[in-house]
């Protein structure tokens, strides 16, 4: 049985909403100041909650057209941020010259789960679901 369009978009909306609320929790409740890379990831994640909600309400295939660039860019920034957190790139090559250093680890659950890691997981799930939805729509137009 194939997964329905609405269920994929709903799952994408849930992931984006949880990520958005999680980032707001860390900054507004826990009072963790976001670094520049965190702000960029927020810029790419926050609109996705609205895009997926609209896509869910009108079942529009354009949800891919509007969400895919944000997902790709957000995934790229989160990947880069994780390379920094895991020490694979130097902090000297980051855009965090002012304010909170991008290598700051406010949390480190299980020795590796940081806020940028959570963002990377969210963007990776969204990328996977977007690709699945894109393939599903491509196959449906062939029929």
What whole-number distance in Å separates Cα of residue 104 and Cα of residue 130? 30
**pLDDT score of 112 more than 80:** no
Q: pLDDT tens, 28-66?
A: 999 999 988 999 999 999 999 999 999 988 777 889 999
Residue whose structure tokens are 């940028």: 116
Closest CA to 120 of 43, 38, 14, 65: 38
Q: What kind and span of H or E run contains 84? A: helix 62-85
pLDDT of amino acid 50: 95
- 0.75 exceeded by pTM: yes
């Amino acid at each position: 049985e194939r997964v329905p369009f609405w269920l994929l978009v709903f799952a994408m909306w849930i992931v984006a909403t949880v990520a958005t609320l999680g980032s707001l929790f860390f900054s507004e409740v826990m009072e963790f100041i976001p670094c520049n890379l965190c702000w960029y990831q927020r810029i790419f994640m926050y609109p996705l909650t609205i895009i997926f909600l609209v896509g869910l309400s009108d079942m529009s295939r354009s949800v891919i057209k509007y969400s895919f660039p944000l997902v790709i860019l957000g995934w790229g920034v989160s990947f880069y941020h994780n390379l920094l957190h895991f020490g694979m790139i130097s902090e000297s090559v980051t855009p965090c010259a002012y304010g909170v250093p991008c290598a700051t680890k406010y949390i480190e659950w299980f020795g590796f789960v940081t806020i940028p890691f959570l963002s990377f997981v969210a963007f990776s799930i969204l990328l996977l679901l977007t690709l699945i939805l894109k393939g599903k729509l491509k196959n449906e137009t062939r029929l």
